[in-house]
Amino acid sequence: MSRLNLTARVFACKLKFMPLKTIESFDVKFLRIIAENGVADSALLPPLNDADYKKIYEAMILARAFNRTALALQREGRIGTYASILGQEASQIGSALAFDDADWLIPSFRESGVFIAKGYPLWMLYRYWMGDERGMKCPENLNIFPMCVPVGSQITQGAGVGMAMKYKGDKKAVGVYFGDGGSSRGDFHEGMNFAGVFNAPVVFLCQNNQWAISVPRSRQSAGKTIAQRAAAYGFEGIQVDGNDVIAVYKATLDAVTKAKNGNGATLIECFTYRLDDHTTSDDASRYRAKEEVEEWKKKEPLIRLKSFMEKKGILTKDYEDGVANRCEAAVHKAVGEAEAFPKPVPSDMVRHTSKDLSPRQVNELKEHGWESKQS
Report, as residue numbers or ranges, the catalytic residues. Answer: 274, 278, 287
DSSP β-bridge partners for residue 238: 29, 268
- Contact between 25 and 232 under an 8 Å Cβ cutoff? The reply is no
| Strand, helix or coil for residue 216 | strand
Whats the size of the chain, residue-wise? 375
Cα dihedral 138, 151, 281, 268 sign? negative
Phi, psi (rounded to 5 degrees) for 38 = 90, 0
- Contact between 249 and 98 under an 8 Å Cβ cutoff? The reply is yes
Other beta carbons within 10 Å of 357: 18
- Kindly state the helix (H) or strand (E) to which residue 57 belongs, with its residue range: helix 50-75
Q: How far, in Å, CA of 65 to CA of 174, rounded?
A: 27
- DSSP sequence for 221-283: -SSS-SGGGGGGGTSEEEEEETT-HHHHHHHHHHHHHHHHTT---EEEEEE----S-SSTT--
